[in-house]
């Protein structure tokens, strides 16, 4: 029997990161529809590393990293060497004006140490305060010119400074907009007008708190529409790989933090919550997934391996 197939007219751009060492994107069909097109680069999993200890994390998340949490470089090495992280996402939470409010000069040593300690691509993620990120991220970009990294988030409020730094020093920029493909397209156009090459853009649809049980169906539909516009409607400004930075929100959910025997084992609950959310985002079209717990990473990797055989 011949299976009906969709003919796609578009293609997701291939974006090379880490100086060409790794490539993401390149799909010519909907996610995992290998019977209709190509998926030359399987979704990649980045693991979180923070610039400062996260003592308020749930115990399930603290356990794997207790011995390395006070050293970002050791934390990154453990994620790669023991847990199989394919990328590292260094979260600059210490820059947050509502928290430690660290200056760029205090953060740059951790960025350099992490980048030097691993042989996988590094994502440097700001504190998501537009003004502070506009101050910190360009200085980070300048400080690490020798190793090309991925820098984000660039928003409609700070894209000029963050984008200009990525142009000047050859890094890849993550264009972040709040769950709306029209806003995503607009920011990509603005970055292009600024001079950022398409080869240096990855998009973040900013799924935020949209996880299993918390609006995931809306996130899924937005990601699905982005892929439809890119592959079936030849919308070149949406033909970019997608990054989903979701683990932080997963582990804050009420269902994970509740001590309730009726909900089952608390640790297993959190791991499955993260793995299932990652599974849905991968199926929706994520090319890079930022995760936290090693067991959730293992489960998602198995799923991706099974779907790409």
What whole-number distance in Å separates Cα of residue 144 and Cα of residue 44?
23
Quick one: which of 13, 2, 1, 54 has its CA closest to 231? 13
Gyration radius (Cα) of the chain, Å:
19
In the sheet that holds 201-204, the strands lie side by side as 201-204, 172-176, 150-154, 122-125, 87-91, 44-50, 288-291, 243-245
Helices 181-194 & 159-169, crossing angle to 10 degrees? 50
Task: Provide the 3-class DSSP secondary structure of residue 261.
Answer: helix
- Please report the pLDDT score of residue 210 as a whole number: 67
| Cα 155 to chain centroid, rounded | 15
Answer whether the bond into residue 153 is a cis peptide, omega within 30°: yes
What whole-number distance in Å separates Cα of residue 222 and Cα of residue 217?
9
- Please report the pLDDT score of residue 2 as a whole number: 83
What whole-number distance in Å separates Cα of residue 129 and Cα of residue 140?
15
Mean pLDDT of the region 87-109: 96
What percentage of the chain has pLDDT greater than the value 70? 98
- Please report the pLDDT score of residue 257 as a whole number: 83
What percentage of the chain has pLDDT greater than the value 90? 84
Q: Is the dihedral of CA 38, 200, 238, 129 positive or negative?
A: positive
Mean pLDDT of the region 42-54: 96
Each residue of 101-139: pLDDT tens digit? 999 999 999 999 999 999 999 999 999 999 999 999 999
- State the number of CA atoms in the 13 A half-sphere of 242 facing the CB: 29
What whole-number distance in Å separates Cα of residue 171 and Cα of residue 175?
13
Mean pLDDT of the region 281-299: 97
Q: Which residue carries 């997608």 as its tokens? A: 242
- Look up residue 118 and give its two tokens: 């691993």
- Look up residue 297 and give its two tokens: 């990473």
Mean pLDDT over all residues of the chain?
94
The pLDDT-based confidence of 215 (bands split at 50, 70, 90) is confident
Mean pLDDT of the region 148-175: 97
- Please report the pLDDT score of residue 34 as a whole number: 94
Does the pLDDT value for residue 252 go beyond 70?
yes
Query: What is the reported pTM?
Result: 0.96
Mean pLDDT of the region 56-71: 95
- 124 with 140: CB under 8 angstroms? yes
**DSSP 8-state code for residue 277:** H
Quick one: which of 270, 301, 251, 255 has its CA closest to 48? 251
Name which residue leads in pLDDT, 188 or 249: 188
- Please report the pLDDT score of residue 278 as a whole number: 94
Does the pLDDT value for residue 230 go beyond 80?
yes
Which domains are assigned to the chain?
26-307 (3.20.20.20)
């Amino acid at each position: 029997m011949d299976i009906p197939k969709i003919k796609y007219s578009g293609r997701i751009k291939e974006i090379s990161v880490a100086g060409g060492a790794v490539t993401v994107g390149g799909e010519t069909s909907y996610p995992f529809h290998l019977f209709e097109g190509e998926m030359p680069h399987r979704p990649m999993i980045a693991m979180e590393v923070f610039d400062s200890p996260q003592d308020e994390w749930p115990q399930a998340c603290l356990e794997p990293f207790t011995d390395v949490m006070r050293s970002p470089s050791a934390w990154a090495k453990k994620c790669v060497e023991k847990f199989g992280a394919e990328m590292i996402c260094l979260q600059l939470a210490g820059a947050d004006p509502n928290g430690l409010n660290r200056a760029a000069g205090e953060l740059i040593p951790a960025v350099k140490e992490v980048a030097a300690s691993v042989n996988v691509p590094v994502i440097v993620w700001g504190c998501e305060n537009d003004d502070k990120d506009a101050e910190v991220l360009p200085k980070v970009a300048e400080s690490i010119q020798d190793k090309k990294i991925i820098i984000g988030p660039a928003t409609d409020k700070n894209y000029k400074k963050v984008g200009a730094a990525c142009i000047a020093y050859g890094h890849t920029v993550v264009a972040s907009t709040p769950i709306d493909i029209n806003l995503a397209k607009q920011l990509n156009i603005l970055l292009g007008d600024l001079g950022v090459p398409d080869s240096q853009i990855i998009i973040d649809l900013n799924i935020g708190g949209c996880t299993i049980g918390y609006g995931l169906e809306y996130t899924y539909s937005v990601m699905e529409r982005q892929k439809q516009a890119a592959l079936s409607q030849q919308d070149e400004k949406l033909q970019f790989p997608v990054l989903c930075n979701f683990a932080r929100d997963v582990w804050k959910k009420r269902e994970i933090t509740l001590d309730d025997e009726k909900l089952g084992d608390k640790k297993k609950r959190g791991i499955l919550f993260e793995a299932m959310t990652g599974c849905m985002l991968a199926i929706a079209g994520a090319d890079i997934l930022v995760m936290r717990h090693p067991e959730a990473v293992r489960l998602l990797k198995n799923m991706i391996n099974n779907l790409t055989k």
